[in-house]
Structure 1
Amino acid sequence: MAATAGRSARTVGAGWGFALLLVLTGAAGLLASWVITIDKFKLLEDPDFTPGCSLNPVVSCGSVMESDQAEAFGFPNPMLGLVAYGVVVCVGVGLWAGARFPRWYWLTFAAGCLFGVGFVSWLQFESLYRINALCLWCCLAWVATIVLFWYVVALLVRTGLVPAPAWLAGFLGEFAWVPPVLHLGVVGMLILTRWWDFWTS
């Protein structure tokens, strides 16, 4: 009980490297969300508009934007990204300036990251096996979200904000890059195998 209380009371900051990672991943997601939002407005104004990233039948941003999945909550998904990735950038800048946050704040932030990675995983499945098209800007947001999620998990484990075995904390302290690389590798392989005939033709 005392250990739990101590964990809740203390605040945790992060080095400039982690802060920079938050700023970069947040900025990447923000850029992707902004471009998709602008293109979505243009598509609503002109149904014949073709987004610049619609390159071929597979890499077709327009097909993704016009799908039902692009408005999962009743409004264009990138509008959610404009808010969420903006928060990530703000947290990163705060950490860079020396801010330290309590455990509840980090857990709330991690919960948001978990929702984000779960949401993009669903979108990946829908893009590959339902919509049958990829959006390059969406892919950028996917990468940013996956990298962000795993580095936040690594921070929580190695700082003791989330209880974990010592070996796991040590591993994530030294090799925090491994989970996101493996995760992105799996997504890349799914994309490659899904359209193998197209890529090799």
Structure 2
Amino acid sequence: MASPSSHTRPTGLAIWLIIAGVIGWFAAFNLTVEKIDRLADPGASASCDFSVLVQCSANLDSWQGSVFGFSNPILGLTGWVAPIVVGAA
């Protein structure tokens, strides 16, 4: 007679997915707010402009920053919900 196998839930992975999803969603939300601020005041610099190499405002204003016709951080707002849902499930 076979003994019943016990399946353990990967709680560590679930917690990691929830934390990473919340951090990613928060970053996408901040980038979306920065894009809206840049649309309201084109001369303002973004809070994530650290140096010549790291410039959020230059990336948000480029054609690659809105490949599908809208700002790419909006994709992050919708996409980062998936790891949160998977981790919670």
Shorter-chain TM band: 0.7 to 0.9
In structure 2, what is the Cα distance between the partners aligned to 1:54 and 1:67? 15
Q: Which runs of 4+ in 1 moved over 2 A?
A: none
Residue correspondence of structure 1 range 60-139 to structure 2 within 5 A: 60-94=55-89
Deviations 1:94-136 (A, max 9, x none): 2xxxxxxxxxxxxxxxxxxxxxxxxxxxxxxxxxxxxxxxxxx
Cross-structure match for 1:118: none
Q: Which residue of structure 2 aligns with residue 16 of structure 1?
A: 11
Q: TM-score normalized by structure 2? A: 0.85
Amino acid at match of 1:86: V
Q: Aligned partners of 1:67 and 1:74: how far apart in 2?
A: 12
**Which protein, 1 or 2, shows the higher relative CO under an 8 Å CA cutoff with sep ≥ 6?**
2
Sort the Cα spacing of 1:74 and 1:14 in 2 relative to 1 into closer, same or farther, 3 A: farther
Deviation of the 1:68 alpha carbon: 0.6
| Partner AA of 1:19 in structure 2 | A
Residue 32 (structure 1) shift: 1.0
Partner of 2:4: none
- The CA distance in 2 between the partners of 1:88 and 1:17, in whole Å, is 13
Alpha-carbon RMSD across the aligned residues, in angstroms, is 1.6
Distance 1:22 1:55, change over 3 A: same
Letter in 1 for 2:42: P
Structure 1 gaps of 5+ residues are: 1-11, 95-201
Q: Which amino acid aligns with 1:75?
A: F
Q: Aligned to 2:40, which of 41, 45, 51?
A: 45
Q: TM-score, normalised by structure 1?
A: 0.39
Amino acid at match of 2:51: N
Q: Which runs of 5+ in 2 are unaligned?
A: 1-6
Change (3 A) 1:64 1:19: same
Match of 2:24 among 26, 29, 53: 29
Bigger helix fraction: 1
- 1:174 is aligned to none
Sequence identity of aligned pairs in percent? 31
Q: What is the SS of the residue equivalent to 1:79? A: helix
The size of the alignment, in residue pairs, is: 83
Give the Cα–Cα distance (whole angstroms) in 1 for the partners of residues 8 and 87 of structure 2.
Answer: 10
Q: Secondary structure at the match of 2:42?
A: coil
Whole-angstrom distance in 2 between the partners of 1:90 and 1:53: 28
Shift in Å, 1:87 = 2.0
The offset of 1:37, in angstroms, is 0.1
